């Protein structure tokens, strides 16, 4: 038939416009004739048959012919045939457009193009696809092994697969016939590689290979595969070469995560971090190793301190080396986490966890809380470390970070307050601003309640200096021959001090009276108690022909005054005259008669004060210096451990009562949990909380529930 020959011609020629028009016209004529001369159906059928026959008789054998000759050859042939088919399909469709427009639509048949494709699929594709897939996969494997392959060829065949998914944009054929086998092959390939690599490569080297493989696979998809395959291939590769050997890589001896940390291999660690973050829960094992590593580093610092103490070194409440080592460790890993681990939260938590363990390991007589507080003291006192402002701020910042890990924060607060008081009262603080800065930082960490007393102390001094000029003016009105100033401390803010009721000389007493009068006029509701154990004085003294300015404490000044005019007293007499007890008088006399500057002569002359000793002014005293400071041992202990314990008992009880009052009735475990969550500055043992509960039951704030031995009721 004419049409047949014309159809087969169509496959060979690319048709000029005229040729096209002739064919089109012919079709048109055939389809628009009245029935039974309307040849639409026949035409449609013939179209299909023709294509089918052609494929069957010409194309398929040609392919089969090439199939035994190697993948590339087959693929090339397939490509060629497919291209031809696409052209033929296109032109046939053009020629028979009229069919498409009316007959096909009218009868809801597949369009000519679709039919053409369908035929190709059924006849050619289905028979050839397995071999084609196999060929492609071998090519890909070759490329993986480093060979060069014809990427464009593969790409063309992939397009064939893509087009074989009939029914819109369906990738069904591609997915099932190419992608799935490819995934399986990929898996097998990388499983093999993994075994190879893991046996001989160190972790960093292995990871470099992983990085490379993942990049290659990604590029491969972009170059000649369908984009839908990218995530699937990636998952397969990640699974085979990362997930399955994750623990192996992390723990590999000589090159695992721990070793990399120990040797600061930041690039390798960063690579490891980035690769493992691809996996589900891939970072937790790594973070755990990091945590345990940092903990062991911290423990090493603690052990070093322990060794120092064991070797007989004298125990002091000051160990700047130890504190600094912890600070440095923290800073280092803060940086590592920021840069190597992109500040990831799991690693931040790891750092926090490890420091919470390390910082709370107390060794020796002095707690870490005390060591840290003394460290601050060094930074904040004048004549301590010579630091400029920004160094001071940095130091304080870092110590506060370390402080945040401390469990016994209330202990730190107690010691810090004591040391702060000493600095302030002895004018040994290098800078008011630095003190305020530190308190502000603590406030940010712990809240207002924590720092209220400290702020109160600073405030007292500020108020004092404001009112100083006013009082000075008042003093000038009286003639006391003593220059005198008073620091008023608000009870409760400051530590409690001993208040020995020493008998003062008349001129001192007068000064006190003037002040009291002035003060009471200003503040009627306030009561003053004099703390003579604090306080300083400058005593102008004349020994022989030379005069000296002795810088001493108030009590020392009172003693010196007693020895005017060459008087002699024995210990017991002094006790009576001064109205002091042994505990106070002994160190007092020691400082004046047994120290470096023996302004008082003691008989007998030894280093211990006995109640049988007698004292007199040392007429022969002399020194090269004019201004002499005579130190004295502090009369008050550094801090009262018992008080901290007591305060804790009260705090726990207050928390229990508060909680029970609100909840009325509560189960035991819930009460314990609530109490612990409310206590931010220390962490009591559950037994200690229980003891407080029992005490409250005894005092009838609570009762055990009669129905349930596990519950408590609040008793109003």
* C-alpha to C-alpha distance for 222 and 211, rounded to whole angstroms: 17
Closest distance to other proteins from the beta carbon of 671 (Å): 9
If one asks whether residue 677 binds other proteins (CB under 8 A), the answer comes out as no
Closest distance to other proteins from the beta carbon of 710 (Å): 5
If one asks whether residue 690 binds other proteins (CB under 8 A), the answer comes out as yes
- Judge contact between 376 and 441, C-beta under 8 A: no
Instruction: Give Cα 167 distance to the centre of its chain.
Output: 53
Residue 366, both tokens:
């002095």
Closest distance to other proteins from the beta carbon of 288 (Å): 25
Toward other proteins, which CB reaches closer, 631 or 686?
A: 686
If one asks whether residue 710 binds other proteins (CB under 8 A), the answer comes out as yes
Helix (H) and strand (E) counts in the chain: 32, 9
- Judge contact between 683 and 629, C-beta under 8 A: no
Residue 85, both tokens:
């088919």
If one asks whether residue 632 binds other proteins (CB under 8 A), the answer comes out as no
* C-alpha to C-alpha distance for 388 and 123, rounded to whole angstroms: 87
Nearest to 330 by CA among 399, 256, 268, 270: 399
Q: In degrees rounded to 5, what are phi and psi of residue 715? A: -105, 115
Residue 3 neighbours by CB distance under 10 Å: 19
If one asks whether residue 704 binds other proteins (CB under 8 A), the answer comes out as yes
Contacts with other proteins, 466-505, as mask; x by CB under 8 A? ----------------------------------------
Contacts with other proteins, 27-66, as mask; x by CB under 8 A? ----------------------------------------
Contact region for other proteins (CB under 8 A) — 25-33, 223-231, 537-545, 707-715?
707-715
Toward other proteins, which CB reaches closer, 183 or 672?
A: 672
Ranges of H-type helices in 532-637: 554-562, 571-578, 582-593
Toward other proteins, which CB reaches closer, 195 or 694?
A: 694
Phi-psi category of residue 506: left, alpha or beta, with phi > 0 → left and psi -120 to 50 → alpha: alpha
Toward other proteins, which CB reaches closer, 440 or 695?
A: 695
Tokens 């399955």 correspond to 244
Closest distance to other proteins from the beta carbon of 360 (Å): 21
Toward other proteins, which CB reaches closer, 278 or 704?
A: 704
Contact region for other proteins (CB under 8 A) — 231-239, 256-264, 409-417, 664-672?
664-672
If one asks whether residue 714 binds other proteins (CB under 8 A), the answer comes out as no
If one asks whether residue 712 binds other proteins (CB under 8 A), the answer comes out as yes
Toward other proteins, which CB reaches closer, 466 or 700?
A: 700
If one asks whether residue 663 binds other proteins (CB under 8 A), the answer comes out as no
If one asks whether residue 711 binds other proteins (CB under 8 A), the answer comes out as yes
- Judge contact between 612 and 571, C-beta under 8 A: yes
* C-alpha to C-alpha distance for 330 and 38, rounded to whole angstroms: 91
Closest distance to other proteins from the beta carbon of 694 (Å): 5
Q: In degrees rounded to 5, what are phi and psi of residue 299? A: -60, -35
Contact region for other proteins (CB under 8 A) — 277-285, 421-429, 432-440, 684-692?
684-692
* C-alpha to C-alpha distance for 193 and 187, rounded to whole angstroms: 10
Toward other proteins, which CB reaches closer, 549 or 670?
A: 670
If one asks whether residue 694 binds other proteins (CB under 8 A), the answer comes out as yes
CA torsion, ordered 180, 184, 190, 193, to nearest 10 deg? -140
Toward other proteins, which CB reaches closer, 209 or 704?
A: 704
Closest distance to other proteins from the beta carbon of 653 (Å): 15
Strand 546-553, strand 627-629: pairing? parallel
Closest distance to other proteins from the beta carbon of 332 (Å): 37
* C-alpha to C-alpha distance for 351 and 360, rounded to whole angstroms: 14
Residue 104, both tokens:
């096909």
If one asks whether residue 657 binds other proteins (CB under 8 A), the answer comes out as no
If one asks whether residue 701 binds other proteins (CB under 8 A), the answer comes out as no
> What is the size of the binding site for other proteins (CB under 8 A)?
16
Choice from 646, 669, 677, 683 touching other proteins (CB under 8 A): 669
Toward other proteins, which CB reaches closer, 428 or 690?
A: 690
Residue 55, both tokens:
């494929």
Nearest to 353 by CA among 288, 283, 411, 276: 288
Residue 8 exposure: Cα atoms within 13 Å on the Cβ side: 12
Closest distance to other proteins from the beta carbon of 441 (Å): 36
Closest distance to other proteins from the beta carbon of 685 (Å): 10
Nearest to 7 by CA among 49, 50, 40, 45: 50
Q: Is 616 exposed, middle or buried (0-12, 13-18, 19+ CB in 10 A)?
A: middle
Choice from 118, 668, 678, 680 touching other proteins (CB under 8 A): 668
Toward other proteins, which CB reaches closer, 244 or 704?
A: 704
Closest distance to other proteins from the beta carbon of 681 (Å): 23
- Judge contact between 422 and 428, C-beta under 8 A: yes
Residue 683 neighbours by CB distance under 10 Å: 12
Nearest to 454 by CA among 432, 430, 426: 432
If one asks whether residue 642 binds other proteins (CB under 8 A), the answer comes out as no
DSSP 110: P
**3-state class (DSSP) for residue 617:** strand
If one asks whether residue 428 binds other proteins (CB under 8 A), the answer comes out as no
Toward other proteins, which CB reaches closer, 432 or 710?
A: 710
Residue 535 neighbours by CB distance under 10 Å: 15
If one asks whether residue 698 binds other proteins (CB under 8 A), the answer comes out as yes
Choice from 167, 687, 707, 716 touching other proteins (CB under 8 A): 687
Closest distance to other proteins from the beta carbon of 704 (Å): 7
Closest distance to other proteins from the beta carbon of 676 (Å): 13
Choice from 33, 697, 701, 716 touching other proteins (CB under 8 A): 697
Residues lying near other proteins in the complex (CB under 8 A) = 667-669, 686-687, 690-691, 694, 697-698, 704, 706, 709-712
């Amino acid at each position: 038939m004419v049409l047949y020959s014309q159809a087969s011609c169509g496959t060979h020629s690319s048709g000029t416009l005229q040729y096209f028009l002739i064919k089109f016209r012919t079709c048109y004529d055939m389809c628009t004739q009245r029935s039974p001369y309307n040849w639409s159906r026949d035409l449609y059928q013939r179209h299909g048959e023709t294509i089918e026959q052609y494929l069957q008789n010409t194309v398929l054998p040609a392919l089969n012919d090439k199939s035994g000759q190697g993948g590339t050859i087959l693929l090339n042939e397939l490509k060629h045939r497919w291209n031809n088919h696409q052209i033929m399909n296109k032109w046939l469709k053009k020629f028979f457009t009229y069919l498409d427009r009316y007959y096909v639509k009218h009868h809801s048949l597949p369009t000519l193009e679709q039919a053409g494709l369908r035929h190709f699929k059924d006849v050619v594709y289905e028979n050839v696809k397995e071999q084609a897939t196999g060929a492609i996969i071998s090519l890909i494997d070759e490329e993986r092994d480093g060979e060069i392959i014809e990427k464009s060829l593969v790409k063309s065949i992939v397009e064939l697969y893509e087009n074989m998914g009939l029914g819109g944009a369906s990738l069904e054929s591609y997915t099932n016939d190419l992608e799935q086998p490819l995934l399986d092959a990929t898996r097998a390939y990388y499983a093999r590689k993994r075994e190879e690599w893991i046996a001989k490569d160190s972790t960093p080297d292995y990871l470099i290979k992983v990085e490379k493989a993942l990049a290659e696979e990604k590029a491969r998809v972009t170059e000649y595969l369908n984009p839908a395959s990218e995530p699937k291939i990636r998952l397969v590769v990640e699974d085979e070469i990362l997930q399955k050997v994750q623990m192996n890589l992390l723990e590999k001896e000589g090159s695992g995560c721990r070793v990399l940390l120990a040797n600061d291999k930041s690039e390798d660690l960063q690579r490891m971090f980035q690769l493992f973050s691809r996996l589900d829960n891939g970072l937790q094992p790594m973070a755990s190793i990091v945590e345990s590593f940092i903990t062991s580093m911290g423990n090493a610092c603690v052990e070093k301190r322990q060794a120092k103490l064991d070797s007989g070194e004298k125990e002091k409440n000051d160990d700047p080396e130890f504190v600094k080592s912890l600070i440095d460790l923290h800073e280092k890993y803060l940086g590592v986490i920021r840069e190597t681990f992109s500040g990831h939260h799991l690693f931040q938590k790891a750092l926090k966890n490890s420091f919470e363990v390390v910082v709370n390991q107390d060794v020796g007589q002095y707690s870490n809380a005390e060591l840290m507080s003394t460290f601050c003291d060094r930074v904040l006192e004048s004549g301590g470390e010579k630091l400029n402002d920004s160094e001071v701020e940095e130091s304080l910042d870092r110590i506060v970070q370390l402080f945040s890990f401390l469990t016994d924060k209330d202990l730190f607060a107690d010691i810090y307050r004591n040391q702060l008081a000493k600095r302030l009262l002895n004018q040994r603080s290098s800078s008011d601003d630095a003190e305020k800065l530190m308190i502000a930082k603590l406030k940010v960490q712990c809240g207002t309640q924590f720092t209220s007393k400290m702020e109160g102390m600073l405030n007292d001094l500020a108020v004092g200096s404001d009112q100083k000029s006013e009082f000075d003016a008042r003093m000038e009105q009286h003639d006391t021959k003593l220059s005198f100033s008073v620091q008023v401390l608000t009870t409760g803010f400051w530590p409690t001090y001993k208040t020995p009721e020493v008998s003062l000389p008349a001129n001192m007493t007068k000064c006190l009276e003037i002040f009291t009068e002035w003060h009471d006029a200003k503040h009627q509701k306030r009561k003053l108690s004099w703390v003579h154990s604090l306080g300083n004085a400058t005593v102008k003294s004349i020994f022989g022909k030379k005069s000296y300015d002795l810088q001493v404490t108030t009590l020392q000044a009172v003693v010196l005054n007693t020895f005017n005019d060459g008087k002699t007293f024995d210990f017991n007499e002094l006790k009576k005259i001064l109205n002091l007890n042994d505990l106070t008088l002994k160190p007092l006399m020691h400082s004046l008669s047994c120290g470096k500057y023996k302004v008082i002569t003691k008989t007998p002359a030894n280093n211990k004060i006995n109640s049988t000793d007698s004292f007199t002014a040392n007429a022969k005293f002399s020194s090269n210096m004019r201004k002499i400071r005579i130190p004295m041992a502090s009369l008050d202990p550094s801090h009262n451990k018992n008080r901290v314990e007591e305060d804790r008992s009260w705090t726990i009880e207050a928390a229990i009562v508060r909680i029970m009052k609100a909840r009325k009735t509560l189960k035991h475990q819930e009460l314990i949990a609530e109490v612990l969550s409310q206590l931010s500055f220390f962490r009591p043992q559950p037994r200690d909380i229980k003891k407080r509960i029992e005490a409250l039951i005894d005092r009838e704030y609570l009762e055990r529930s009669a129905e349930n031995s596990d519950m408590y009721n609040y008793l109003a």
